[in-house]
Every structure is written in structure tokens, then in C-alpha cells.
Amino acid sequence: KSHNLLKERRQCKHVSHTDAAAVTQKRPNGVSSRAKVLTIDTMNPTVKKVEYAVRGPIVQRAVELERELSEGIKKPFAEVIKANIGDAHAMGQQPITFFRQVLALCSYPELLNDSTFPEDAKSRARRILQSCGGNSMGSYSASQGIDSVRQDVARYIERRDGGVPCDPDNIYLTTGASDGIVTMLKLLVCGEGATRTGVMISIPQYPLYSAALAELGAVQINYYLNEEKCWSMDISELQRALDEARRHCNPRALCIINPGNPTGQVQSRQCIEDVIRFAAKERLFLMADEVYQDNVYADGCQFHSFKKVLFEMGPEYSNTVELVSFHSTSKCYMGECGFRGGYMEIINMDNEVKAQLTKLVSVRLCPPVPGQALMDLVVNPPQPGEPSYENFIKERTATLSALAEKAKLTEQVLNTVQGISCNPVQGAMYSFPRITISAKAYCKQVHTPDMFYCMKMLEETGICLVPGSGFGQKDGTYHFRMTILPPTDKLKILLNKVKEFHQKFTQQYT
């Protein structure tokens, strides 16, 4: 399997310049028409394998429908609701006032003279600007990220993890978490045929992983989360996937998303320990995607960082297991997707490889400085006693409790629908309910039943979801991913429309 993958990966149709001359044709007006240099056959074939369902065909159709609506074309709905993407602000979530005040001060430092800005915002802004070349956000930062921000990130991690030490030198600021994840995969993926790098990813997964692996020509090794046990990880399933993969590739890395996307599960501490033990025993490089670390809603659930658990397992593990953890400004209570802020913490990386990593990130100069500034505020928010503290806490609490409420509401409503079964949304920003639909529900243009279902839902209700096939699911099962982000009253309407649609659909396609 990996043999063919690699062969395909390398080949592209070679049209020599002499061939091209031969396909030159003259059109009636005398203008030459001839084969382009870059065509679907001559382009890099690995790019063709890349899919990203979160912004795939269904979203393109949603955008078309929006355009048609704006042109006055009548539809069975008044608006398109984009419940496909984890974009909180687009759904009306408000930014944290303090963060935006500091960003404004950093953008236009004249405002440091403006008495309407609180002192703590000003002192944060001054600190950030002092760390920027020429005291300007317009300077490139160091490629690893602004020094003082990395120090603040390290302190945040130490506080979050109950004192487990964090070395700022192990922190790399990134352009969103996606950037860090792709960079790490670039370092890891090599070899060919039976030695081609394999990377274990959860099914269902966030399709950045499958897209990156496709582009890099790595072998994607699927391990299935257990839907019956609220999407938890099973070590026996990890073992099965790994043993099977070893027959045809070189598995080297294990990716976990916790809290999970699309599933929302918050893994137990025991489970995280088991995964670490598994990775140590089987010599796998761990990649822990923790961008939803503040999005934990369910009673009895708690976020445990892989870093903390690793260190609490003692030096046999904490000195040896190679781990990279990722965070972002896009989710949690911030929802600042557009700023592309993020960081990764590197644990136990070989020093020579670290030097290569540092060199690699230097080519792209630096992550966006506004995103770095924002990350600084996320890890160093207002403290008790500071002027902005109360309002900050109020805003953060309001956002997180609204999300918790909506998580519960979503689970409840969807579970009243015959043929929809929704696991508790323990964390993150999505529900990933299972839908019981006929395997015969498809048409000539749309081959997968869940895509057919979602397309119909879009056309009939204006609600844009992503079919489970975009994330991966067990054969013969169907799901969709829907965000919990619309405001509560809108979400209620949405959920009821989904309910109605499902009932109608299952009647129509039995």
C-alpha cells in the first residue's frame, strides 16, 4: 500500500518542451492554444490527495447559497448557518475586552496617552512593544517567537501543570497550532516503501492531520476511538493498529487530540498515562493537540496535559518520552482564530533535531506578531487586584458557561431524535452524533450517504454541517459534525430544524 502511495506520489505526467510544441494549435484568430505547463496531470500528485472537509465541497455550496440569497433568490430558509467550522466570533461570541485593548495599544501606541484605557492594559502593551524591534509590532520577531512571550508561556504552563518546570527554550510560537503540527510532521516523515514513516491518528480526527500526511506522503495509521465508551481511547485498539501498520511501514508518531475534535471527549488521566506508557514501550513520538484545553464542560471531566502526566510518571518516562504539545489562540474562551496565534512545547527532543527545527522555522521568518502578542495575553491575563481583572473573569466565565450550556443542550435535543445518537459533549466545540440512515441514501453526484444527508440538509434548511466521512468513522456508520457555537436561542432553532430534517429524511430514504 505504501509502495503504491510513494510511486504515485512521485510520478507526474512529464510533458517535455518538445511535446508541448507538438500540441500547439492555432486558433482561428491566429492565437496559439497549447498545453499549459502546470496541469492536473503535471502538478504535484500529493497535493491532489489532500482533502480538508471542514472547508470542502459542502462549504463551497454553502457560500454559493449565501450569494444566491443576497441576490434575492428565494430559498426555503432566510439564512445560511455555518455550523461547519469552529469559528466562535463568526457565530457572535465576543472577544475578551482586555485582549483587544492591548492589541489596539500595541497597534497604535499613541493610545498609551489615552486615559480611557486601563493601566494594566497599558503596561502589558508596553512590555510587548519593548520586546519588539524598534518597539513596533511591524518588526520581524525572532523566528522561535518573541523572547518575553515564550517566557510568559513557560510560566503559564508551570502554573497550569501544578509546578512542573517548563524551559522557555522549549517553546516555539507558531502561526496557529496547525503550523506547529505541520512543522513537526515535516521533521518526522521520511523513508520509503516498508520504511516509510507512519503516523497514528485517531478516527475520527481533525482533517488537518490527514491532509498533512497526504501532502507529505506519509502513511496514515488509523486507530479507532470507542464510540460506545464516549469516544475514549483503547490501548488494545492502539496496539492493533500499530501491529498491523508495522507490516508495511515504519510507525514513528502517535497523535492525540485532547479534548477531542470532532468528538469532544476529554480523556481521563488514567487513559493519558496508558497512552504515554504505550508510546514509551513502542517508541512512538507523541503529538498532543491540546487547543481545547479550557473547553471542558462535563462533570467529572478535567483537562490533564500530557506534559504534566508525563512528568508525574517519574524520570523513566519524563526523561525519555519525546512529546510535543500544541496550543492556540483560536479556541477556548478567546476564539481569536483570525490572529493565527499558537505555540508548541517540545519535550525530550534530540538537541541536533532541535537545531534543525530552529533552522527550519527561520526560513518563514516569524509567526505573525499580533498573534504572538495575543498569546502573551492568553498566558498572562489580568490578575486579581488589577483594574481589568473582574471584567476579564466575567467575560471568560460567561463565554465558557454559555458553551457548557450549549454542549448540554445539543446533546439533549439530538438524543430526542429517533435515529440520532449523540455522545455527551464533554469538551471542545462540536457534537459528532451518529445518524442512522440508509446506506442507499446517495445519488450520482454524491456517493457517501452522510455527505448526501448533509447536502440535502443544507439545501433544505440552510444549515451547513460537515459529514462524518470528512473526519473518518467506522465502516457502515455515519455521523455529522456540528459546532455548538451559535448563540443559545439560535442553537435551539437549529437543533429543532435538524430534528425535523432528520425525521423527514429518514421517511424519504428508508
Under rule CB under 8 A, which residues in 87-116 are in contact with a second copy? Answer: 87-93, 95, 100-101, 103-105, 107-108, 111, 114, 116
d(CA 106, CA 124): 9
Grid look-up 454541517 returns: 465
Grid coordinates representing 377? 495575553
Which H/E stretch holds residue 431?
strand 430-431
* C-beta neighbour count of 36 within 10 angstroms: 9
Q: Within positions 60 to 79, which residues make up the interface with a second copy, using CB under 8 A?
A: 63
Total site size for a second copy, rule CB under 8 A: 119
Nearer to a second copy, 12 or 230 (CB): 12
d(CA 181, CA 49): 19
Query: Does 421 participate in binding a second copy (rule CB under 8 A)?
Result: no
Q: 505 with 453: CB under 8 angstroms?
A: yes
Q: Write the interaction track for a second copy spanning residues 19-38; mark x where CB under 8 A is met and - where it is not.
A: -x--------xxxxxx-xxx
Q: Write the interaction track for a second copy spanning residues 329-368; mark x where CB under 8 A is met and - where it is not.
A: -----xxxxxxx-------xxx-xx--x--xx-xxxxxxx
Which residue in the set 145, 370, 462, 470 belongs to the binding site for a second copy (CB under 8 A)?
370
Closest separation between CB of residue 468 and a second copy, Å? 19
Closest separation between CB of residue 417 and a second copy, Å? 29
Q: 102 with 124: CB under 8 angstroms?
A: yes
Number of H helices, E strands in the chain: 18, 16
Closest separation between CB of residue 245 and a second copy, Å? 11
Nearer to a second copy, 153 or 369 (CB): 369
Closest separation between CB of residue 253 and a second copy, Å? 8
Query: Per CB under 8 A, which region of 191-199, 402-410, 436-444, 472-480 contacts a second copy?
Result: 191-199
Query: Does 487 participate in binding a second copy (rule CB under 8 A)?
Result: no
Q: Write the interaction track for a second copy spanning residues 390-409; mark x where CB under 8 A is met and - where it is not.
A: --------------------
Grid coordinates representing 212? 498533512
Nearer to a second copy, 153 or 189 (CB): 189
d(CA 479, CA 224): 14
Nearer to a second copy, 13 or 447 (CB): 13
Q: Write the interaction track for a second copy spanning residues 279-318; mark x where CB under 8 A is met and - where it is not.
A: ---xxxx-----------------------------xx--
Q: Write the interaction track for a second copy spanning residues 426-455; mark x where CB under 8 A is met and - where it is not.
A: ------------------------------
What are the backbone dihedrals phi and psi of residue 143, each rounded to the nearest 5 degrees, phi first?
Answer: -65, -30
Tell me the C-alpha to C-alpha distance, in Å, between residue 234 and each of 228, 271, 298: 11, 8, 21
Sign of the C-alpha dihedral, residues 467, 494, 490, 76?
Answer: positive
Grid look-up 440508509 returns: 438
Grid coordinates representing 417? 431524535
Query: Does 169 participate in binding a second copy (rule CB under 8 A)?
Result: no
Q: Write the interaction track for a second copy spanning residues 255-284; mark x where CB under 8 A is met and - where it is not.
A: ---------------------------xxx
Closest to 103 measured CA to CA, from 394, 327, 328, 336: 336
Q: 172 with 362: CB under 8 angstroms?
A: no
Grid coordinates representing 51? 482533502
